[in-house]
Amino acid sequence: MGGHGAGDLERGVSGVRRRIGAAIFERVAGPEGPSRRQVINAGGERWFAEGRPIRRVHGDSSMFIGGIRALLLQSLHPLAMAAVAGHSGYRGDPWGRLQRTSYFLAVTTFGPAGDAQEAIARVRAIHRRVTGIAPDGRPYAASDPHLLTWVHIAEADSFLRAHARFGTQPLDQAGRDGYVADLARIGAALGVPDPPRTEAELATRIDQYRPELAGTAQAREAARFLLLSPPLPLVARAPYGVLAAAAVSLLPGWARRPLYLPRLPVTEVAVVRPAGHAMVHAIRWATSAPPAAAAS
């Protein structure tokens, strides 16, 4: 009787876990998620072999935190922010933007080489159409190698730091350098000239951009939207808030101040980091559930 009850409980928990995992997958991957998953799992040569650092980082739930941090950091370049505000539809279609980005990262990291190349070509074609004038009067173009480099290094730094703090099996120094080198292959394919290939080079490159960074009205508005009013059902607001707070906790002071984001060292160590770990663990638990057939 006890064994039977335990089995029923286990099946019930597995069912809840699969439903939560499916809901997260649908939100992040979108309606095309299942077909895109088939593309990524198809046979053929890959850009990155099993065991490469980029697979470990991009396959981890800490990417949820890294992605929010990357968007906040990227917004500090006034021309990059103007391009996002003018063309990405982040307010009208934020989930569409997330779904396109998540597919791009998944297919270039895990998918067949031909599909990775197609995804690169698609993004480059979009970049060529994204041009305009920033509020400060300067022209911008998404295909500008200088702006592409900023977007690339902000992502590399954010994904790496989120994985180091919240990921499972954080990388050693050789692994972190390997991750930056792996991501450099994607960056170079997108048009980034000479992307950094070690963690030290990445830090140097970010420092070189700091004089150009500023908290514009557009950047602060994007931060408010991203952190305080994302279009989420009520039940998802608190979990998302934990991920957002964890992302902010990973930003250096020089990046927080222009966005009016507070620094609360004691709260971050005592509350935000443990909550961030718990939330990332919960997402990892839900999204790693075996399919129904395998679980039964």
| H helical segments located in the chain | 2-29, 33-41, 53-58, 63-74, 78-87, 94-110, 113-129, 145-166, 173-190, 199-209, 217-228, 234-249, 253-256, 265-267, 273-287, 292-295
Instruction: Kindly report the average pLDDT of the chain as a whole number.
Output: 84
- Average pLDDT of the residues in 169-186: 97
Q: Could you tell me the two tokens for 283?
A: 């997402």
Q: What pLDDT sits at residue 240? A: 83
- Average pLDDT of the residues in 17-32: 58
Q: What pLDDT sits at residue 233? A: 74
pTM as predicted:
0.83
pLDDT digits (tens, 9 = 90+) for 117-167: 999 999 999 999 999 999 999 999 999 999 999 999 999 999 999 999 999
CB 108 within 8 A of CB 114: no
Q: How far is CA 34 from CA 29, 241, 273, 279, in A?
A: 8, 27, 33, 25
Long-range contacts of 105-109 (CB under 8 A, 24+ apart): 105/58, 105/63, 106/36, 106/40, 106/58, 107/36, 107/39, 107/40, 108/47, 108/186, 109/47, 109/48, 109/54, 109/55, 109/58, 109/59, 109/186
Q: How far is CA 221 from CA 213, 262, 273, in A?
A: 16, 16, 25
Residue 292 above 70 pLDDT?
no
Hey, where are the domains in the chain?
2-295
- Average pLDDT of the residues in 247-267: 87
Among 61-70, 101-110, 205-214, 257-266, the minimum mean pLDDT is found in 257-266
Residue 295 above 80 pLDDT?
no
